[in-house]
Amino acid sequence: MNVDAFTQQRQGSWSELEDLLKQARGHPARLGATGVRRLGELYRAAVADLAVARRRFPGDPTVIRLDDLVLRSRSAVYGNAGRHRSALWFFGRGYWQRVREQRWAIVLSAALLFGSMGLGTVWGLVDAPAAARMVPGAAEGVGNRRTEADLGLSSGDRSAMAAQIMTNNIKVTFAAFAGTACVPTTSTAPSSVMRTLRSLRRDKGGTSEKHIWGKD
């Protein structure tokens, strides 16, 4: 089969595809359900014709025209597949669609989180000494109730430290929500607080960090 016979045989399908593209004007929904299905059928047929034409008639103008038709048809058929949604759409609908799609993974995560929390609580109530041995040394004084109200800081210093801690917590919350890595977040979060404490210690002439944190 030569190029003229091939073009004459397939020209009707290509012309119909051209007409559908003109009717759609970039929005295949204008064609209706039947028209959209027909558009897909003609597009797949044109792709197959292009493959044949490239193999049998390389360099012929027919191949160039058919290639242009296939590109325009592909844009009409798959144009919405990569469309970017707004942030408002994502948080209003897209996010919850993802939650529904991954609901079993979320259920499993929640079971692991709250299940381990519950087991740890029960263990601590039943055998507190054994459970306490699992606590890292740096966190041993966290649960100790403090009776003294004076940390050796003035009211202004306490306000500055509270503001610094609150600001740091807000930063960590936004960073975690944005999907940043947990290790950098947790490792850099206390550093700003410690810098504040050191500056306060220098200003107070030696107030101990251990005293502030309740360590011996």
| Boundaries of every domain in the chain | 3-78, 85-134, 150-216
pLDDT at res. 57: 87
Q: Which residue has the higher pLDDT, 70 or 83?
A: 70
CA nearest to 188, candidates 214, 169, 213: 169
CB 57 within 8 A of CB 6: yes
Q: For 166-182, give the DSSP string.
A: HHHHHHHHHHHHTT--H
User: What's the sign of the alpha-carbon dihedral 103, 108, 109, 115?
Assistant: positive
Per residue in 25-81, pLDDT (tens digit) is: 878 888 888 888 888 899 999 999 999 988 888 888 888 889 999 988 888 888 654
Say yes or no to pLDDT of 114 above 90: yes
Mean pLDDT of 92-99: 79
Flag whether the pTM goes above 0.75: no
Question: 147-199: per-residue pLDDT in tens?
Answer: 555 556 677 777 888 888 888 888 888 877 776 444 444 444 455 555 655 66
Please indicate whether residue 14 or residue 177 has the higher confidence score (pLDDT). 14
